[in-house]
Amino acid sequence: MVIGILSVLLAIVLPIPRMVRTAALKKRAKAEATALAQAAIRYKAEYNFWPGERIPSPGNPLLTDPHPDLTAQDKIIGVIVSGPREFTENIQARGGSSLDILRLNTNEVYRAFSMVGYPQGDGYDINPLNPKAIPFLELKNETDFNIVSYPDPWGQPYRIVMGLNPKSRFEFTVTAANDPNTILHYVAVSNVTAFAFSIGTGLRGNTNYIYSAGVGL
């Protein structure tokens, strides 16, 4: 009888630390996703374009050029999405929208936040994407444009969406590579708003995405 009671108590008590840790990680992910979205908003307010919207100029590393996809004659870019390839390649605008999507990998956004440029000798050049060296975000591997990152608590990259068009409503579907289900999002995206989110644990079938708090200019 005593063993039975102890078994019941252990079954109740043992999951509690794991639940507390999961809740703490989700709270941290929400705060970090919000910080990322706010960093994008502050960056646009400071430089008048979104992180990833421009690239270092090949001819003059102190200058920037528009992202090549934004200058294509056959495209009208309405929204920027950034994240792993399985996310960006599987996101599609729907609902009759003729606007295209600029798909970026995570480095293309984070390198814009970096306070340093490419290494030159013992020092570093000024980052033309952030010439004022403003600390928008606490990045990892900030001195290397190829691996600069901002992982969520589970070591996964955040996804971020930034609007380019005047206020419009997008319906888009995201089919995660590790989840056969299709998830519908109805999101109001404008040229002054951005949001970010984490997919959480990243376990198969997980749809409990952790979104940033609403932010905008």
Q: 36-80 pLDDT, tens per residue?
A: 999 999 999 999 999 999 998 887 777 889 988 888 777 777 788
Q: How many residues appear in the chain?
A: 217
| Whole-number Å distance between alpha carbons of 157 and 88 | 12
Whether residue 6 is predicted with pLDDT greater than 60 in this model: the reply is no
Domain that holds residue 23: 2-216
**What is the count of structural domains for the chain?**
1
**pLDDT value, residue 168:** 55
- Comparing C-alpha atoms, which of 85, 194, 201 is closest to residue 137? 194
| Whole-number Å distance between alpha carbons of 112 and 204 | 32
> Which residue bears the tokens 């749809």?
207
**pLDDT value, residue 96:** 47
- In this structure, what DSSP letter does residue 8 have? H
74 within 8 A of 85, measured Cβ to Cβ: no
Question: What are the DSSP calls for 132-185, one per residue?
Answer: T----S--BSTT-TTT-B-B-TTSPBPEEEEE-SSSEEEEEEE--TT--S-EEE
Whether residue 2 is predicted with pLDDT greater than 70 in this model: the reply is no
- pLDDT per position as a tens digit, 108-145: 999 999 988 766 555 667 889 999 999 999 999 888 88
Q: Considering the entire predicted model, what is its pTM?
A: 0.80
- Comparing C-alpha atoms, which of 116, 23, 102, 117 is closest to residue 61? 117
